[in-house]
Amino acid sequence: MIGRVLDALRYAKHGNAGRRGEDLAHRFLRRNGYTIVARNYRLASGAAEADLIAWEGKTLAIIEVKSRETAEYGPPERAIGEEKHRHLLRVAREYCRKSGVDWQDVRLDVVTVILADPPKITLFRGALST
């Protein structure tokens, strides 16, 4: 309950659909057995970021969240291009290097959020190649 109140205050201040989508994705993943270990993980250079990093069992998932107010202009996952894919790979490699995770245990997931009432959340495990 307190988390939702804080989220509501944050949205009112920033009016950010992306942030709201990340919050919804975070809760969704936790309810589905993921253990979130990082949020908005950014390379030291600031050149790339992963929205969420989480463990699902023995697999480390680097997660991109795409949110849209509606699906009117197509599904949110279509907005992930080659550049974003390269950025996620860079983040994944650095995170693995720093934390000692084997590359074979890494997966790139995508969570899409349509901010309808109720929100429509879809998880694509291994949506992007590693």
Q: Is it the case that residue 129 has pLDDT exceeding 90?
A: no
For residue range 7-26, what is the model confidence (pLDDT) as tens digits?
A: 555 544 445 888 999 999 99
CATH of domain 2-128: 3.40.1350.10
Hey, what are 36's tokens? 């979130």
Q: Is it the case that residue 4 has pLDDT exceeding 70?
A: no
Radius of gyration of the chain (CA): 15
Q: Is it the case that residue 46 has pLDDT exceeding 90?
A: no
Instruction: Please enumerate in sequence order all residues whose Cβ is within 8 A of that of 47, keeping only pairs 6 or more positions apart, or say none.
Output: 87, 90
- Looking at residue 58, its pLDDT comes to 97
Mean pLDDT score, 91-116? 95
For residue range 53-84, what is the model confidence (pLDDT) as tens digits?
A: 999 999 999 999 998 888 777 777 777 889 99
Burial classification of residue 35, based on how many CB atoms lie within 10 Å of its CB (0-12 exposed, 13-18 middle, 19 or more buried): exposed
Q: Is it the case that residue 128 has pLDDT exceeding 50?
A: yes
- Looking at residue 14, its pLDDT comes to 43
Structural domain boundaries in the chain:
2-128
Average pLDDT, the chain: 88
Hey, what are 2's tokens? 């307190």
Q: What does DSSP assign to residue 73? A: T
- Record the pTM: 0.83
Give the three-class secondary structure for 124: strand
Q: Is it the case that residue 98 has pLDDT exceeding 90?
A: yes
- Looking at residue 5, its pLDDT comes to 58
